[in-house]
Structure 1
Amino acid sequence: MFTSRQVLMKFIIPALALLVPLAGHTQTFPTKPVVIKVAYPAGGPADVAIRDYTPSLPQQLGQPAVVENVSGANGSIAAMSVLQAAPDGHTLLGIVASDLILAPKIVPSARFKPDDFRAVAITQQSELVLISSPKHAFKKVDDLVRYAKANPGKPLSIGHWGNGSITHVAGADFAARAGINLLQVPYRGAAPVLPDLTSGNVDLTFFPLAGPLLGFIQAGHVKPIALAANTRSAQLPDVPTINESAAVKDFAYTIWSGVFASKQVPEAVIQRLNKVFGAHTLSPEWRGRQVTVGATVFDLKDVKQTEDFFAAEIKKVEAAAKVVRFDTN
């Protein structure tokens, strides 16, 4: 005959034993270098933004942080690689959020959903700017729309960074909302677009404010038409938002890169990683660099705020993507 104490001990001890490995894991994480698989070639905007964090991570984690560039297939190769790794937090994904959202829609081998990942931290954020070749006379969105409607047989061309990119979606969404026809011109990434816009080979594009764009604008090589944002930018205070036009309202596109983990990674590990990355964004040096390059200096976000931000982005990008004809070959 078992006493009540014996019955309790019979069940509680095995249950506690099951919790020991999990508790031990989260207390000792990391036990080896943390690898961030960046979904782009070295030197690109997202790669540079994520590498900005790596010098400070070892001081807080007690282990090296290593960036591994795994480019291709709209980021899906890196994403699949992270999902195939052990879900212990030692293998993370560095990617532009819109690529993570859209890759499963356009890449047949991308066998994942955005919610297979958890957003750990935002690494850089920037509004998109609608810019034109300096050869055109229009200076505002309403002028551009009137010009396009008056010349339906000669549609303006709009360059983007390739099938399924955020600039592809933004351009298609803008055309649909403005009721105009724009000729979509895909490029292999961002680098070739600005030179072609400068030379007049393409008429329009959406481009992040962060990066080389400010220099092109200041030199007069390209003309800013409007920001795809809710408020004007301190870097371009005289440039209106698209929402200030009569033709298009409620139009805002932010491009942001971040660090993501498999949703199977333990909660305590996600929480720790979020705090470690967040600490870097509080440094005056980091914030100063963001201002210099024209990026948005965003407030620190905890895990819930980061995941809510990602969930809202999924909803927004997927809704906008309905107007886009993707090439799925």
Structure 2
Amino acid sequence: MKRRHIIFSTLASVAVCAAGPAFSQTASAVSASGYPSRPIRMIVPFPAGGATDILARALSQKLGEKIGQPVIVDNRPGAGGTIGADAASKAAADGYTLLLATSSTHSIGPAINPKIPYNAETDFTPIAYVASSPNIVLVPNSSPAKTMRQFIDYARKNPGRLNYASSGNGTIVHLTSEYFKAQSDTYILHIPYRGTALAMPDLISGKLDVLFDSFVTGMPHVKDGKLRALAVTSLKRTALAPDLPAVAETLPGFESVTWFGVYGPKGLPADLAGKVNQAVNSALADSDVKERFARLGAEPTGGTPQAFAAMVKSDTNKWKKIISERKISAE
């Protein structure tokens, strides 16, 4: 009797082990199908009312509708986005904390400041590429250059005599300008300001020669006839201004955009990341979201987590190279 009991127990154990993968898959499916069962928090590492915050709120509202639970924006500003990103990296990997990251938190920040408290590549789970926003190349109306090619030729003929403004050392405007100088083989002097809005009067008056401003803040001055736009810095022409050529039409491969994307903490299960990814892509296809993004100078992107991760890695490597070669610091 005892022998039969041992044999039965052994056979039962073998049967359970053999069925293990099936049971695991079923448990995983239940976990994914039950998510989310409560509101989701989306950390925005910049202040309320700014462009990133407004974009996050447009996305979160529609994302909540698509995924079946409210997505609540949690602003955690400070240190160029580092504080909020760090908080997201330390959250539980259960799908209830997301991060709306930008090129500042995951490309430029890590490239220019190796002392940030997180590893942008290993401490997060990439979920979805949300949107991109180009810069716009602005010159005074008095500039002799009416095209990108003419500006490059003009700068090459006058090395060290032209200047450009930026919103400060280590900012996207500064790095884009230095990237342009490297690609175009020009020598243009840097004049940092505390924000491009403060540089606008000097650009309009002709004291400055060029500014690679954000599309949102720069384009109104072009529409008002105060400045001339030469190009956009997206790889191809943008639907935001289809008549403006891309810098890449003159300098092949040139691209500088501010990107926005959704991450989860490290270790987020693939099925949960996939569910959020599907909901984000569905939200980005909504006409209201597209319209609200356009008002911010951003174009929806979407795609797979893998494509998003590859884009961020390429973007980070590009800025690391520029920062190293041009000896740029945030100081």
Tell me which interval the TM-score lies in, with the shorter structure as reference length: 0.7 to 0.9
Which residue is 1:89 aligned to?
Answer: 95
Residues 23 and 238 of structure 1: CA distance in aligned 2, closer, same or farther (over 3 Å) = closer
Rounded Cα–Cα distance in structure 1 between residues aligned with 2:249 and 2:38? 51
Residues 311 and 63 of structure 1: CA distance in aligned 2, closer, same or farther (over 3 Å) = same
Residues 178 and 68 of structure 1: CA distance in aligned 2, closer, same or farther (over 3 Å) = same
Residues 46-77 of structure 1: per-residue CA shift (max 9 Å, x gap): 22111101222333334322212222222221
Cα displacement (A) at 1:297: 4.8
Contact persistence 1:99–1:165 (CA under 8 A): no
Contact persistence 2:160–2:188 (CA under 8 A): no
Which residue is 1:305 aligned to?
Answer: 307
Cα displacement (A) at 1:144: 2.2
- Superposition map of 1:89-108 within 5 A: 89-107=95-113
Unaligned runs of 5+ in 2: 1-5
Which residue is 2:171 aligned to?
Answer: 165
Which residue is 2:213 aligned to?
Answer: 207
- Superposition map of 1:31-110 within 5 A: 31-107=37-113, 109-110=115-116
Contact persistence 1:34–1:92 (CA under 8 A): yes
Rounded Cα–Cα distance in structure 2 between residues aligned with 1:18 and 1:286? 38
Question: Which amino acid in 1 is paired with 2:245?
Answer: P
Question: Which amino acid in 2 is paired with 1:40?
Answer: F
Residues 227 and 118 of structure 1: CA distance in aligned 2, closer, same or farther (over 3 Å) = same
1:258 lines up with 2:261 in the alignment: yes
| 2:101 match: secondary structure | strand
| 1:94 match: secondary structure | strand
Greater mean deviation of Cα atoms: 81-90 or 116-125: 116-125
Rounded Cα–Cα distance in structure 2 between residues aligned with 1:185 and 1:21? 59
Which residue is 2:117 aligned to?
Answer: 111
Residues 175 and 7 of structure 1: CA distance in aligned 2, closer, same or farther (over 3 Å) = same
Which residue is 2:286 aligned to?
Answer: 283
Residues 248-281 of structure 1: per-residue CA shift (max 9 Å, x gap): 3321222221222223111111111111111111
The structure with the largest alpha-carbon Rg is 2
| 1:169 match: secondary structure | helix
1:185 lines up with 2:191 in the alignment: yes
Rounded Cα–Cα distance in structure 2 between residues aligned with 1:107 and 1:293? 28
| 1:32 match: secondary structure | coil
Question: Which amino acid in 1 is paired with 2:140?
Answer: S
Give the total of aligned pairs: 324
Question: Which amino acid in 1 is paired with 2:57?
Answer: R
Cα displacement (A) at 1:114: 2.6
1:135 lines up with 2:142 in the alignment: yes
**Cα RMSD after superposing both structures:** 3.0
Unaligned runs of 5+ in 1: none
Cα displacement (A) at 1:29: 2.5
Cα displacement (A) at 1:175: 0.7
Contact persistence 2:166–2:196 (CA under 8 A): yes
